[in-house]
Structure 1
Amino acid sequence: MTESVKDIEIPRGPDDLTAEWLGRAAGVHATRVGVEPVGTGQTGATYRITVFDHAESTSGTYIVKLGAQDIQVRERVALGYRAEHAFYTRAAETLDVPVPQCVYFDISEDAQDFVMVMSDCAPAEQADQIRGCSPAEAALAVRALAGLHGPRWCDPAWLEFDGVTMPLASPEFAAGMQTLAEMALDTTLRMIGDRLSTSDREVLRTSASMVARWLTMRGDVFALLHGDFRADNLLFDGDSSQVTVVDWQTITIGLPARDLAYFIGTSLTHDDRRAYERRLVETYHAALVDAGVTDYDLDTCWNDYRLAMLQIPLITTLGAAFAAGSSRGDDIVVVMLERACAAIRELGTLDLIAAE
């Protein structure tokens, strides 16, 4: 990967993604490029660049990720841009999680502007958060998750890793996060109006009131977390035999099962989660063992999975409150929170936290 070349400016928008810029930054020879947006662009702006040669033939495609086009959003999520830079430049090669090849990365000193050029994983396609993953896709995803957590399970070096959006929580940090979680929930509920039931709202308010306690539980078991490991951040090939994990702007240090619960609880339909969650937890645990994790039995993994369901309302409401809104984004928030509340009730998560 080529990193920040001083005399190459960071593009601010799609008009800056020229053939000349791509050639200087990533060593890609092109006479011209085609640029088209990809995704909804809530916390960043992503584009597919098609490279054309002298004969006007297509010679390849790349994915380019920039900061959000709204300057206020960039200011709010700059920590996430810094986190993604830290992941690709200082962590990815030490893990066994499938990610796109990063060709070029640059970030400004204040982290509000950044650019990342990646290999295009097409014809792999993004999963659909609202429709959810199939059981086969979910099994691939939890194995990939074990490839993130397992190789450096409880590695003390993570405690000094300064690129994360949230460190392993101290009591003081956890108290601050609870205040933020309660504010974010209020903002989210105002944003989505009456689209959630009264019982779901009660679950969410109780969950937010337990964030400080929850964040400091199980602090002896930790790894690097993706933080937003869900269907929309996964690319699957056509026959669901391969998955690629994208969007590393929310990396965190914490209980690994938080990623697992967040994925299963948000990225499967209610019926599929109920039918397959135990099997998926077993698949994840077996992959951890294959990665060399010891002293972590399946029963403990299952209880951690139940406990970790608070990851969903915490991250979902923070994202809703601080990212740029969109119609599909609002629909996703509602679906994720509905699925979360059902899982929290059925798994007894709040009682489990209260009993600790």
Structure 2
Amino acid sequence: MYTIEENKPLLGLNSFRIAATARRFVGFCGGDDLKAFFADLPAGEPWYVLGGGNNVLPTGDYDGTILHPLCRDIAVERREGDTVSVRVGAGVEWDDFVAWAVQRGLGGVENLSAIPGYAGAAPVQNIGAYGAEAKDTVECVECYLPDERRIVSLSAEACRFGYRDSVFKRELRGRAVILSVVFRLSSRPRFALRYGDVASRVRELGGESLENIRRAVTDIRQEKLPDPAVLGNAGSFFKNPVVSCALAEKLAREYPGMPCYEAGDGLSKLAAGWLIDRCGWKGRREGAVGVHERQALVLVNYGGASGADVLALAGKIRSDVRERFGVSIDMEVNLL
């Protein structure tokens, strides 16, 4: 049976450490809980799924119901040769799942070590780092569709993954609640070490292995990114912009050394952090908010900031990047 709390403080449930309150807070474990909850939900009442709160910016009190996944099981569904399909509950901490996989010699998600948040959010955002994305291993996503009052299993193809994007951020936004995700892992993994800093760190640790890749990625992330328990933040606040190759080539001529990566279909991906840094924002502070001193993609709450404060800073940064480079950078975080 689902649980209910009234007037729930959200300060400890978002990594930005923004003070806000939800009128109702409902914990659920599975499809039966959701069927019962939505049967009782008054018509027209808003709802929002909040997992670990690591990619969310509260913009005020939420006058509706927050749904919070409590399903925390990890189980092997089947083995076919070297392939192992693992079902992970939406409420499992993502990094706990990565650790579980590495400890069992199962590869595929080790490059995504130390990414905060719940496993249920991984396909929504199509989380990615160091040459890997969630879509590389997602087999299917089980979710509940309140409008249709049924549970469905969406294949990876049906999830329509893109760069930090999926069907859950578009057509199914506000229309699906993820219950679990099945990941396809391998007992004979192929290591992805095309990022130089990861590759060099792995060599220092003794060579290629799941354990060394996980340790290397974890160490690098801890060195570059602030701990949300110490300094409120949501990790990368902005997406890396994808632009035409023509624009990328023009900018590369104007700014030698500008990071640029081929994105296919006549497109190139630029480094948003580099653009923000060149606009002079890295390390700057405005009142209770600022840009982290070591990573320009990360906006931080020094204490007492509101969601409006963070959005105001983000707006200034986006405006400066657009004015200087003619490039629009979009927010990666979700607004609540």
TM tier, smaller: under 0.3
Structure with more of its chain in strand, by fraction = 2
Structure with more of its chain in helix, by fraction = 1
Higher relative contact order (CA 8 A, sep 6+): 1
